[in-house]
């Protein structure tokens, strides 16, 4: 048994093969055993593509380590391929010398041809660079269940647990987490529980008998900050972050939303928490979704809407109204490959432009971007806090990669996210005093928030330009210019209420990597690697994009070159270069996947060498 | 609980100057709304007017209540959010034929389907007024307008058919030159728990003047309209000598008859029943128009159905009884978790 620092494992099979489930079981077990983990599910957009085809392949990748892991990993050390199509789709990405575990029973003529193989790769040189474990998973599963009362079809559904058993043996995993999960999940169906446990153990035993020809590994516990942990993906983290903000602001949370991949999970998650006074409204379309949220905000809720690119485009007009009304609103955009329907299940960072500029008229708002699955909790909270405190819509950008990827999350202590002061009016108006809905706080330029039901504060808000302070309709040209200026200034001044930009590494050096949003894990890992090699490279990773942190300009000035890696054609780069005229370079890919650490290392090295 | 003050119409008039054209039908609707809202027994701060875009949609600015003037076609989305967040509010929507039935058509049918307790007043002038005279989804076939110089080539929507077809629990039609009738209908709309749609035939003096003359002109309106009232036979005409009878059995046909002719008496006439569970009668009424039938004015349908916001709060109550978590920390610590020491 070899001790290693980390291992990257990819479970892959037909979308009906239960790969997401066993991948999740493996990560939960590893997390419970004290490893750091990062996971990423990769599933096709077709619900059930024809069985055995390459476009029906569903994968789940997990990186577990005794050292901190920040991404699901570049190249898997181990691939589990439940059929030839899964092998075909993943073969190029497996580490040379890695292990491939195949269900040899699935490599029949029909499946081979559906995957586009003319000859069986198990009998050719194609797999020579790898250690191949051929396991007759289908037959062995049925054999293990010969006494089970389950029907044949149900028995076959257990075969993912056979594969899981093999991997559990290879990495010395404890079977109890999964066994307990099976017992609690299927407590009403003992036959299913028994069958899956038997198959899991059969896979484990199979690997044990192969001990001579199969590698086994030991991964020590990682040094993880003590605390109470759960595993969290970005979408769930957004949901909880919004709920936490509602709790801290003592407001009800209202979500107006319309199902759209990959954001739907936030709506589904929030719809469970009626007992925490969360109201979810599944509207008839994206437009009504955001409008209902603005209505709820007017009536005093912490209101949010969740969507992805196409939905954000549809919401643009209403978001413009929210900037005009100056009402708090959180818009979460889980970015996916665009334009148009694009690549709905794949990740990209190409909505920064629409978030920044996608409204008619002068309509500035706050734009934030979460850095990792667990950071979605904090940033959703921040988005809500800034929306409430500055009476403005806030767009929070996440992406399909961090939305579906999961990692351990230290459950916050009660006092950590305790209180958000809102701008709700508190005092009764004096006799004869008139409420001025657009009279601003002189420091922040934020207006007060009076909600229907509060006597004396009756007022109208609307999309027409309004008279400064008073809020009634005004067509006066000078007043319009002043109002545009005040709305812009209000957002600029948010700079005083966001944290200073952090820098990882030295404050000066040769190359500054300026990244944003969900690519943090990759850029951080790449920069760390180069720092350990002695390179003068640092990382500034942005989570506050509009307004930008105050000290960013100073940071940019400390480096000979700046490089901005983005999963788009350079949207942040255009903003930074326009604002600071700093000739930042770009590293851009649009390959419907996150950055690989090694490609970033190579790109950064190229620039370091040219200096 | 504070007592609701005694209000008059003036208490609900805002200080904003009204910017509708002189002679516009909207004045009488505004007047009727202010008069009615003063009487409904709600405190002023508990009333909220929401609108989209169009001449009608300026209305919230003229009401001394809470109000939102929003974007074109989407008033019902905003109003739904307001009502769900605070069901104690009396929420009213002022909208037009373009706002509600063209750009807002999708929201119109879905708001009706949900049956939120909203009062929707459609100012139907069969034209786009604020954009200065293009045809609307309720313009009569062939109408010559600025965007249809050779006449339109599309059939109009009937707001009544659309509403009742979508399952409206309350639908009524009234007309801008009968302010008392508008007030009575609005009061009934308020009293109805669930969605209420009130179509007001409204005259645009500038771009579609006289569009409703068949039903509004004093010299002919009695012949061309029928006032429908619950439990009463459908009688109309200047001399109250005409009526509606139903013939045809399984495929009913409504026929206009003269009382006293061919042995027809009042007892033979169709009696209005706005409480019918089946929408059949209401549907039939939506097909009445000149020249074959008198146009019905009054309440087509007023039935009880579960309301959306009621169900939302009931679910909250039920789930709170079943589940013990009350904070996010409770939720996060209740699932699969582990402790690192």
Backbone angles phi, psi at A187, to 5 degrees: -60, -20
**pLDDT tens digit sequence for A522-566:** 999 999 999 999 999 999 999 999 999 999 999 999 999 999 999
Q: What are the sequence ranges of the domains in chain B?
A: 9-211
> What pLDDT score was predicted for residue B2?
65
* CA dist., res. A347 & res. A349, Å (int): 7
* CA dist., res. A330 & res. A380, Å (int): 8
Residue pair A242/A376 in contact by the 8 Å Cβ criterion: no
| Contact status of A217 with chain B (Cβ, < 8 Å) | no
Q: Is the pLDDT of residue A601 over 90?
A: yes
CB contact under 8 A, A254 and B84: yes
* CA dist., res. B110 & res. A3, Å (int): 60
CATH number of A509-610: 1.10.150.310, 3.40.50.261, 3.30.930.10, 3.40.50.920? 3.40.50.920
What's the distance, Cα to Cα, between the start and end of chain B in Å? 54
Residue pair A330/A366 in contact by the 8 Å Cβ criterion: no
**pLDDT tens digit sequence for A354-412:** 999 999 999 999 999 999 999 999 999 999 999 999 999 999 999 999 999 999 999 99
Strand extents, DSSP E, A208-301: 217-218, 227-233, 253-257, 279-282
CB contact under 8 A, B81 and A299: yes
> What pLDDT score was predicted for residue A592?
87
> What pLDDT score was predicted for residue A213?
79
> What pLDDT score was predicted for residue B108?
98
Q: Which residues of A touch B325 (CB under 8 A)?
A: 275-276
pLDDT-derived band at A132 (thresholds 50, 70, 90) equals very high
| Contact status of A414 with chain B (Cβ, < 8 Å) | yes
Neighbouring C-beta atoms of residue A172, cutoff 10 Å: 12
> What pLDDT score was predicted for residue A215?
86
| Contact status of B166 with chain A (Cβ, < 8 Å) | no
Residue pair A79/A131 in contact by the 8 Å Cβ criterion: no
> What pLDDT score was predicted for residue A384?
98
Residue pair A565/A543 in contact by the 8 Å Cβ criterion: no
Q: What are the sequence ranges of the domains in chain A?
A: 2-218, 230-410, 509-610
Sign of CA dihedral A41, A47, A49, A51: positive
> What pLDDT score was predicted for residue A155?
96
CATH annotation of A230-410? 3.40.50.970
| Contact status of A244 with chain B (Cβ, < 8 Å) | yes
Between A and B, how many residue pairs show a Cβ–Cβ distance under 8 A? 204
Q: What does the block give as tokens for A11? A: 């479970």
Q: Is the pLDDT of residue A350 over 70?
A: yes
Residue of A232, A88, A291, A428 whose CA lies nearest to B51: A291
Architecture of domain B9-211: 3-Layer(aba) Sandwich (3.40)
DSSP letter (8 states) at residue B23: T
- The nearest alpha carbon in chain B to A320 belongs to B71
Residue pair A333/A260 in contact by the 8 Å Cβ criterion: no
Q: Is the pLDDT of residue A419 over 80?
A: yes
* CA dist., res. A255 & res. A332, Å (int): 11
- The nearest alpha carbon in chain B to A288 belongs to B77
**pLDDT tens digit sequence for B46-73:** 999 999 999 999 999 999 999 999 999 9
Q: Is the pLDDT of residue B29 over 70?
A: yes
- The nearest alpha carbon in chain B to A242 belongs to B328
pLDDT-derived band at A1 (thresholds 50, 70, 90) equals confident
| Contact status of B86 with chain A (Cβ, < 8 Å) | yes
Determine what percent of chain A is predicted with pLDDT higher than 70. 99
CB contact under 8 A, B325 and A32: no
Backbone angles phi, psi at A607, to 5 degrees: -70, -35
Average pLDDT, chain B: 96
- The nearest alpha carbon in chain A to B324 belongs to A275
Q: What does the block give as tokens for B92? A: 């009213």
| Contact status of A339 with chain B (Cβ, < 8 Å) | no
* CA dist., res. A314 & res. A307, Å (int): 10
Q: Which residues of A touch B84 (CB under 8 A)?
A: 254, 279, 281, 292, 296
Q: Which residues of A touch B85 (CB under 8 A)?
A: 252, 254, 279, 295-296, 299-301, 303
* CA dist., res. B144 & res. B154, Å (int): 12
Assigned fold of A2-218: Pyruvate-ferredoxin Oxidoreductase; domain 3 (3.40.920)
Average pLDDT, chain A: 96
* CA dist., res. A32 & res. A221, Å (int): 10
Residue among A228, A299, A458 minimizing CB distance to B65 = A458
CB contact under 8 A, B44 and A458: yes
> What pLDDT score was predicted for residue B49?
98
Q: Which pTM value belongs to this model?
A: 0.96
């Amino acid at each position: 048994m070899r001790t290693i620092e980390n291992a990257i494992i990819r479970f892959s099979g037909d979308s009906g093969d239960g790969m997401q489930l066993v991948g999740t079981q493996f990560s939960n077990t590893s997390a419970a055993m004290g490893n750091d983990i990062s996971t990423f599910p990769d599933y096709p957009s077709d619900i059930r593509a024809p069985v055995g085809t390459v476009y029906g392949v569903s994968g789940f990748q997990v990186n577990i380590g005794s050292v901190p892991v920040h991404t699901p990993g570049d190249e898997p050390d181990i691939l589990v391929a439940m059929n030839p199509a899964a092998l075909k789709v993943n073969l190029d990405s497996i580490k040379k010398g890695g292990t491939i575990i195949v269900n040899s029973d699935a490599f029949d003529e029909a499946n081979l041809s559906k995957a586009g193989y003319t000859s069986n790769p198990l009998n050719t040189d194609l797999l020579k660079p790898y250690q191949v474990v051929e396991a007759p998973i289908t037959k062995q599963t049925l054999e293990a269940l010969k006494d089970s009362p389950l029907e044949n079809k149900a028995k076959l559904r257990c075969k993912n647990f056979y594969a899981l058993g093999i991997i559990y043996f290879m990495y010395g995993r404890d079977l109890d987490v999964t066994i307990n999960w099976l017992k609690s999940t299927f407590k009403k169906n003992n036959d299913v529980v028994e069958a899956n446990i038997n198959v899991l153990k059969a896979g484990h035993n199979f690997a044990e008998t192969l001990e001579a020809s199969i590698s086994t590994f030991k991964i020590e516990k990682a040094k993880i900050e003590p605390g109470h942990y759960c595993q969290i993906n970005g979408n769930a983290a957004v949901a909880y972050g919004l709920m936490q903000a509602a709790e801290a602001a003592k407001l009800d949370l209202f979500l107006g939303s319309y199902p759209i991949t990959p954001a739907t999970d936030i709506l589904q998650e929030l719809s469970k928490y009626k007992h925490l006074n969360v109201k979810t409204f599944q509207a008839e379309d994206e437009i009504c979704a955001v409008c209902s949220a603005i209505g709820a905000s007017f009536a005093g809720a912490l209101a949010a809407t969740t969507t992805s690119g196409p939905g954000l485009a549809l919401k643009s007009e209403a978001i413009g109204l929210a900037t005009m009304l100056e009402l708090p609103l959180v818009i979460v955009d889980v970015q996916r490959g665009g334009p148009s329907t694009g690549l709905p299940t794949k990740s990209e960072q190409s909505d920064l432009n629409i978030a920044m500029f996608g409204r008619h008229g002068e309509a500035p708002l706050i734009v934030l971007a979460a850095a990792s699955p667990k950071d979605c909790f904090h940033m959703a909270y921040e988005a809500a806090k800034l929306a409430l405190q500055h009476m403005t819509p806030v767009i929070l950008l996440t992406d399909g990669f961090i939305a579906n990827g999961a990692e351990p999350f230290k459950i916050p202590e009660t006092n950590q996210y305790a209180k958000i002061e809102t701008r709700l009016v508190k005092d009764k108006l004096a006799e004869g005093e008139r409420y001025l809905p657009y009279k601003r706080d002189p420091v922040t330029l934020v207006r007060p928030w009076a909600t229907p039901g509060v006597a004396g504060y009756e007022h109208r808000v609307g999309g027409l330009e309004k008279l400064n302070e008073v809020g009634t309709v005004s067509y006066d040209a000078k007043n319009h210019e002043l109002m545009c200026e005040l709305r812009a200034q209000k957002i600029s001044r948010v700079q005083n209420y966001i944290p200073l930009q952090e820098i990882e590494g030295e404050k000066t050096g040769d190359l500054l990597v300026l990244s944003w949003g969900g690519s943090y894990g990759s850029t951080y890992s790449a920069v760390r690697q180069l720092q350990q090699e002695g390179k003068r490279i640092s990382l500034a990773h942005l989570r506050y994009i509009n307004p930008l942190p105050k000290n960013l300009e100073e940071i940019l000035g400390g480096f000979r070159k700046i490089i901005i890696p983005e999963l788009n054609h350079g949207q942040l780069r255009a903003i930074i270069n326009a604002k600071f005229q700093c000739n930042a370079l770009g590293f851009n890919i649009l390959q419907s996947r996150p950055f690989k650490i090694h490609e970033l290392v190579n790109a950064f090295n190229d620039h370091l060498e040219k200096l | 609980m504070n007592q609701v003050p005694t209000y008059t119409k003036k208490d609900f008039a805002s200080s904003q100057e009204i910017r509708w054209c002189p002679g516009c039908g909207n004045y009488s609707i505004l007047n009727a709304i202010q008069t009615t809202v003063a009487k409904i027994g709600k405190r002023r701060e508990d009333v909220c007017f929401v609108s989209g875009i169009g001449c009608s949609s300026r209305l919230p600015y003229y009401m001394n209540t809470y109000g939102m003037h929003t974007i074109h076609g989407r008033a019902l989305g905003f109003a739904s959010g307001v009502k769900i967040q605070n069901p104690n509010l009396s929420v009213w929507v002022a909208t037009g034929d373009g706002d509600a039935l063209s750009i807002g058509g999708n929201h119109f049918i879905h708001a009706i389907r949900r049956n939120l307790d909203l009062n929707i007043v459609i100012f139907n002038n069969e034209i786009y007024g604020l954009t200065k005279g293009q045809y609307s989804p309720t313009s009569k076939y062939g109408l010559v307008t600025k965007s249809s110089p050779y006449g339109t080539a599309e059939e109009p929507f009937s707001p009544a058919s659309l509403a009742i077809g979508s399952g409206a629990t309350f639908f009524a039609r009234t007309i801008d030159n009968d302010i008392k009738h508008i007030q009575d209908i609005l009061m009934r709309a308020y009293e109805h728990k669930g969605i209420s749609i009130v179509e007001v035939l409204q005259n645009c003096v500038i771009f579609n003047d006289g569009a409703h003359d068949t039903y509004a002109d004093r010299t002919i309106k009695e012949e061309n309209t029928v006032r429908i009232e619950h439990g009463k036979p459908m009688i109309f005409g200047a001399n109250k000598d005409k009526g509606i009878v139903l013939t045809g059995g399984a495929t009913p046909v409504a026929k206009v008859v003269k009382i006293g002719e061919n042995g027809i008496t009042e007892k033979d006439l169709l009696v209005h029943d706005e409480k019918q569970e089946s929408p059949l009668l209401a549907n039939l009424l939506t097909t009445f128009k000149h020249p074959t039938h008198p146009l019905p004015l009054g309440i087509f349908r007023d039935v009880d159905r579960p309301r959306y916001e009621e169900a939302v709060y009931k679910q909250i109550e039920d789930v709170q009884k079943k589940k013990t978590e009350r904070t996010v920390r409770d939720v996060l610590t209740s699932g699969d978790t582990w402790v690192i020491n």
